[in-house]
Amino acid sequence: MHHFEMRNGNLFAEEVPVSELVRTHGTPLYIYSAATIRRHFETFDSAFAGLRHLTCYSVKANSNVNLLRLMGSMGAGLDIVSGGELYRGLAAGVPAERIVYSGVGKRPEEIKEALSAGILMFNVESLAELVRINDIAQGMGAVAKVSFRINPDVDPKTHPYISTGMKKNKFGLDLEKSLEAYALARDLTAIEPVGIDCHIGSQLTSISPFLEALDKILNFKAKLDEMGLSISYLDLGGGLGITYNEEEPPHPREFGEALTARLRDMPLTVILEPGRVIVGNAGILATQVVYTKQTPSKRFLIVDAAMNDLVRPALYDSFHRIGEITAHDRPPVKVDVVGPICESSDFLARDRELPGMEQGEYLAVYSAGAYGFAMSSNYNSRPRAAEILVDGSQARVIRRRETYEDLTALEQ
């Protein structure tokens, strides 16, 4: 079942007409479907039912505390990369023992906060970080559980900006350095090495890179066994892709079957860190046409959503499907959909065929639930959009629209 669908020429979010939402709350407007999030989480999590596992939602994809609370109530853990994400997760009621902390640049105060909270483990990315965690834990009279993020040098065949598991990337340790790290961790008094971590990239549309990385990780685990290290967690990260345009990513069931076949008999708890695959297609960005503009070579739809609201097209040249909120029987026209920001990169679509649109009408930008609001900014002093969560026939504001006063509230 699709929870964003056209009915009699009107776009609905579950049981709520999107036209009603934009009239009430204005635009730009992020709209999320709770039913879609539930369905996606259940589909993903159940794919690994044959394994001891913990599904830790990747907070960076969309960090609204209401969405974290929704997934936490379904048994999700969290994959975090900052002290702010830890704060959000705890505020959402997710137990600290279901939180793993990734990222290359953990600051001392963030490490202290995570140790005080009692998180499941740190995914450590350098020897310097390991030594710092040990020193801080010693000072607190604590023992830090850690895994090391291993860089298996696997090409995920995705956009280079979201590839994370190759030698040239900043993330993790190569296989040789990782052995040194585990040997050091074994001897540090305030460190308990409990896991292996690996994340090769985002928006993957094939499971073969996952399986190639897994083979290398399992060979590496055998060496740790020989060192007398007992590893109980295998964190395989996230990265499973979604359909934005014509991609055909594997179903989570296919991924689950492949991992279960290889890991079923191993005494490990598998940790998975899905983000985009849970929330990406659970959200849209609604926007209004401010002006239409015809030049000798182009027709433009100038809308009120901009690259500060949704930066993915400008940053990655990403495709997002765009459609009407209220259908009109007009022939298609090739247009650029652009925003008001003073940058030539401020576009949502280029050379896109859309039904002829007029000033004041509304469009929906699809697949905007992941890395949409989470990457938004106040560039050009634009207040950030409101966020709405629809659940059946109910719609509620889960983040109010910013005001001009908000723009200067922290400035002294």
Active site residues: 342
Alpha helices in 26-148 (DSSP H): 34-46, 65-72, 83-91, 108-117, 127-140
Q: Is 337 helix (H, G, I), strand (E, B) or coil?
A: strand
* Contact (CB, 8 A) for 353 and 334: yes
Q: Is 357 helix (H, G, I), strand (E, B) or coil?
A: coil
User: What φ, ψ does residue 20 adopt, rounded to 5°?
Assistant: -70, -40
- Alpha-carbon Rg for the chain, nearest whole angstrom, is 23
* Contact (CB, 8 A) for 349 and 320: yes
Question: How far is Cα 152 from Cα 213, in angstroms, rounded to an integer?
Answer: 6
What are the residues whose beta carbons fall under 8 Å from the beta carbon of 390, sequence distance 6 or more?
Answer: 13, 14, 15, 16, 21, 31, 32, 33, 34
* DSSP secondary structure code for residue 59 in this structure: G
